[in-house]
Structure 1
Amino acid sequence: MDWDKLRIFHAVADAGSLTHAGDKLNLSQSAVSRQVRGLEEQLNTNLFHRHARGLILTEQGELLFDATSAMIKRLDAAAARIRDSEEEVFGELRVTTTIGFGTLWLAPRLSKLYDKYPDLKVDLMLEERVLDLPMREADVAIRLKEPSQADLVRKRLMTVQMCLYASKKYLDDNGVPASIEDMSNHRLICQNTDSDQVGAGLNLIQKLMMNDVKSLLTVNNYFGVLQGVLHDVGIGVLPNYLTQDFPELVHILPEVESAEVPVFLAYPEELRQSKRVAAFKEFVQDEIISYRKQQKLDQEK
């Protein structure tokens, strides 16, 4: 198949309009239309339903759009690798991780990465959905479980645990629970058990719920849980990586904690030689080392 026709088809499918696709490609609407019709004739099928308000892909068009999307992602990856020079780190790096880890641990540290590589452009994609790295939905992922996708380079960074934290004011006003059974006298702040979360955290929440917790605030991510704790709403289930950046958190019932959760950095095999990925990996590993040293100092106090 003619690549120019495929490229133009993809632009039309993405824009949903001949006119908008033409503007993006610097082609006239008639030229775009001719190319699309030529591709349809070549394939002997209709790729679009044509309506007054725009174009909608047919079933056959959706199949072809999936294929061209994969092709373009692969080409973008190849172009990015070519642009990576021997000594410089520049260009876009798409990083995906969870909302909690991204907002509470990673984002506050990115200034150090930009200080070292000012020409780097990081696109931070925070969501609980696991993006498909081999299909290039992202370049690098930090995940709170071992990646199961094939063809990935993976590096175990650290482990975290979900623990119980409260503010000093909340504890002054409501008392410090002496045992897990005392949680029935306190307000629990945690993720909703129906939300996407680490299994270890879910198991801990379910264990706490067995103690007849009467007052409850549920939030769909750890950032919201943290805000509730910091504003004296109750006792929250939070990852222990927060203690370094939020020393005002008071750790209570230290014997009540989740199983250890592994944190992995992963990226596609094809980006093994990428300077951008290597720079990001080095940055994260350095921050993990700093975090571990501080954690050890805090434990020795």
Structure 2
Amino acid sequence: MSDAQPVFRFAPSPNGELHLGHAYSALANQAMARATGGRLLLRIEDIDRARSTATFERQIEADLAWLGFAWETPVRRQSEHFDDYRAALDALTEAGLAYPAFMTRGEIRGFVERRETEEGRPWPRDPDGAPLYPGLDRDLSDGERQARMAAGEPFAWRLDMRRATAMAGALGWHETGAGPDGEAGEISDDPGRWGDVVLARKDTPTSYHLAVTVDDALQGVTHVVRGRDLFFATSVHRLLQVLLGLPAPIYHHHDLIFGEDGRKLSKSARDLSLKALREAGLTPADVRRMVGLPGAAAAP
């Protein structure tokens, strides 16, 4: 990492109201940026056009302003930069690292269920618990791929994980927070555990993994501060950084905020939204106390 000014970012998706978990992450980013004399960016991750709305984006900005979170402008909106993600996908495709996968979600689910029944053992899962893609389309001939694409058959672009990891070699990242088991320092994790991850779909021209990797590089982000639920996904992001020749930020994964029932807070359940707390008369200082950030967080 160079001696350049640190750059932090908070990157919510405008598909629901911000809750206490988002407040924790936003305030942690702000505290670390202040402690290091760094810049603080706001990025709107709205690649899911079906669920993202301008109303939620305005609500995000109102909630953050109320918290005292001050960000630089202009704000980067992912939906305005699909060409950047397409260029990265094209580079991976031209390098033979991405392929069109034609199995639908239903076909994948059916395949996994049949295989588990036949073999009497669970199909491999990724760190989030989702079944790994069977990879049946990985070795199709170029002719068959082109014919199926020309016929309008739906497909997703997937990363050929075997070829990608062989090309990238050993990789890891510098962690100043902690993983699920308290890991910190120099972290080595196998991205192969995720299987052939999706890079883009017909209805969404990029995936979270690809977009966040490209965005962090283009915005010069040096410190990625986010929830511990994304700890293992960092191995995929590091792999993409190596394959695309992009710099590696320092990573800091922080604790998650849980509800009284012990589950992670969710937008869909409208858990302790900042809007509701504000309307109930709470102050930003109250929110800081609720998330356990009475003062500045330590800088990585």
Q: TM-score, normalising length from structure 1?
A: 0.24
Q: Which structure: greater helix fraction?
A: 1
Structure of higher CA gyration radius? 1
Q: TM-score, normalising length from structure 2?
A: 0.24
